[in-house]
Amino acid sequence: MSYLELPIPNRSEHLWRYTPWSKVHPTQVDVMPEINSANVYFNGDLVDAKTNGAEISKTDISRAFLVESNSYIHNITIDDSNANSEIKVISDGEMNSCNLHFEVKNSGSIRVRLSGESKWFGISITGNLHGNVNLSFAIVNDLSENTTILRCEDWDIARDSTLEYGELSIGGGRIKSDIRTYLKGTNSTLMQNIAVNCRDSRIDDHHIEIHHLSGHSNSSLTVKSACADKGHAIGTGLLIIEENCDKSDAGQVFKNLLLSEKARAEAIPELEVLSDDVSAAHGAASSSVDPEQIHYMMSRGFSRDDAQTEIVEGFLISSFAKTKNDYAKEFLIEALSTNQNEWE
């Protein structure tokens, strides 16, 4: 079934509750436009795209659209020759997209930066972690504030492998992200940490699914969002532990910091636990900046705006406190620190 044969998703669906499909489609929902590939650089070299042989989902409209509208894919293999890798995706056309696939055969780190001035940008990322590897993946969305972004990710983690995932989302005007991870082997592990900066009228909608498909698998998810002005952050998390997945351990936490009366944040963690002998927990909380913190910092010479900026930066940086890989951690914190003046 092709994109144009798929039904337009209803807003009663968990995935599309806050962002209707019509808001992230680049033209009209009954049109399949041709979208040019963004430029992808791997360790400084332009990566050639190949015809995409990926199987198109028969039920998922976002993934079907991204693959059909751009039939090329950038395949990147991580092995012992490129343990620390840097990828730059630059999108400067009216409508650009790219499909990235990572084949992870050895332990390593990947840093990805999305940038450019496109009106619309779409990205599909798929990753396959082979057995007994550790991957630290860090991604920074630094696209133009006028860009609408559609993003899908699918990660498979094999036996005895770990994905340490960090994301900083600071770019784009409206963002729809759908990130799914599948823990497929014994002792497979996901540690996922996401920081979201919503200012002006930015709308950032993250849907995150974690599927435990094997026993003795582990996952943790932390999402922290700071919202100023009319910014709106949405976080929906779906944690599924399938049958026969005993001894699995999973948790997810959403925390929101609201900086104005018109800022909004939704956090909706959900659990589906079909095994008995597991540990599963979730939580969500929203709060405003503590006036006593502001007062204390002002007594130490900070202006009110500078004090708030420091508090917000500290709140978002704490998302990456447990990130073990220095190559990835420094990348995320540096990008956030560079962006801190936007809070003034």
Q: DSSP for 188-214, please give it.
A: -EEEEEEEEEE-TT-EEEEEEEEEE-S
Query: If you ran DSSP here, which 8-state letter would residue 132 be given?
Result: T
Query: If you ran DSSP here, which 8-state letter would residue 314 be given?
Result: H
b/e map 2-27, b = 16+ CB within 10 Å: ebeebeebeeeeebbbbbebeebbbe
| Residue 112: predicted pLDDT | 98
pLDDT, one tens digit per residue, over 134-161 is 999 999 999 999 999 999 999 999 999 9
Structural element, H or E, at residue 2 = none
Distance (Å, whole) CA 33 – CA 102: 26
Structural element, H or E, at residue 23 = helix 21-24
For the sheet with 249-258, list strands across it.
45-46, 39-42, 84-91, 108-116, 134-141, 162-169, 189-198, 218-227, 249-258, 279-288
Q: Is the pTM of this model over 0.75?
A: yes
What SS3 state is found at 42? strand
Which residues, listed in sequence order, are joined to residue 122 by a DSSP beta bridge? 97, 150
| Residue 213: predicted pLDDT | 98
Contact 147, 119 (CB under 8 A): yes
Distance (Å, whole) CA 246 – CA 275: 6
| Residue 81: predicted pLDDT | 79
| Residue 14: predicted pLDDT | 84
Segment-wise mean pLDDT, segments of 10 residues, the chain, 344 residues = 91 91 96 94 91 65 94 91 92 95 96 97 97 98 97 98 98 98 98 96 97 98 96 96 97 95 94 95 91 90 87 94 95 88 49
| Beta pairing, strands 72-78 & 50-51 | antiparallel
| Residue 339: predicted pLDDT | 75
- CA 303 from centre of chain: 33
